[in-house]
A and B are shown apart, each in its own frame.
Chain A
Amino acid sequence: GAVVSQHPSWVICKSGTSVKIECRSLDFQATTMFWYRQFPKQSLMLMATSNEGSKATYEQGVEKDKFLINHASLTLSTLTVTSAHPEDSSFYICSARDPTGVYGYTFGSGTRLTVV
């Protein structure tokens, strides 16, 4: 099947520092990956669509300068939370669509970010 690996699974950082989260498609190439944010007991909110070799497309209300997305290869997309603050603490999840269409959209295991 289509596997997406996300790293790290959890991270604690100090306010004002930056944190990078990696999302890799392990057994398929993904020209497009998606980044979501999920607050406790709430659903997934799409933050941005990551396109290999071009700029990411951000959803309305998402600060592109705070959430930097880089999709430098067909198997890797990164999300960097810059100058993190406690309100950025959340569960971040990436997703990629299997190009064959068989497995639909596969999700990573998520990264729990806590900013102290």
Chain B
Amino acid sequence: QKEVEQDPGPLSVPEGAIVSLNCTYSNSAFQYFMWYRQYSRKGPELLMYTYSSGNKEDGRFTAQVDKSSKYISLFIRDSQPSDSATYLCAMGTGKLIFGQGTTLQVKP
């Protein structure tokens, strides 16, 4: 079993839809939880960073962490074609472990 599991998709939604991306993990020692966005042939770009259970909102993005269930989510509201990318969850203590990444396509 991988330490971090993420549905690779691909996920295709119409513009304006709410997108839900999810990851589960097995290591209860993980302290940091992050979501990155990666465009093709580019380095990952940090979207959300949290270290506690609960919700964190930033513009159209909401990150949710449930440590008791070992489950994290990223919600994207009013999705735009420019949101089309690969979304990676990452978590850890010192070093980060990444999920497989979910490829999202938002169609105009």
Contact = CB atoms under 8 A, between A and B. Distances in A.
B36 interface: yes
Interface in A17-59: 32, 34, 42-46, 49
A107 B44 contact: yes
A93 B43 contact: yes
Interface string A54-86: 000000000000000000000000000000000
Contact count band on A: 20 to 34
Contacts of A107: 36, 43-46
B90 interface: yes
B43 A34 contact: no
A43 B97 CA distance: 10
A83 to B, nearest CB: 25
Tell which of A44, A45, A46, A103 has the most Cβ of chain B within 10 Å.
A44
B95 A49 contact: yes
B84 interface: no
Contacts of A34: 95-96
A93 B36 CA distance: 14
A43 B96 contact: no
A24 B76 CA distance: 32
Contact of B94 (A45, A49, A93): A49
B73 interface: no
A109 B44 CA distance: 8
A42 B100 CA distance: 6
B10 to A, nearest CB: 10
B101 A43 contact: yes
7 contacts: A6-B43, A43-B98, A43-B99, A45-B98, A49-B95, A95-B96, A112-B41
Given A6-B43, A105-B34, A107-B44, 7 more contacts: A42-B101, A44-B98, A103-B49, A104-B49, A109-B43, A110-B42, A112-B41
Interface of A: 6, 32, 34, 42-46, 49, 91, 93, 95, 103-110, 112
- Pairs of residues from A and B, 8 with the lowest C-beta to C-beta distance, nearest first: A104-B49, A107-B43, A109-B43, A110-B43, A44-B98, A43-B98, A107-B44, A43-B100
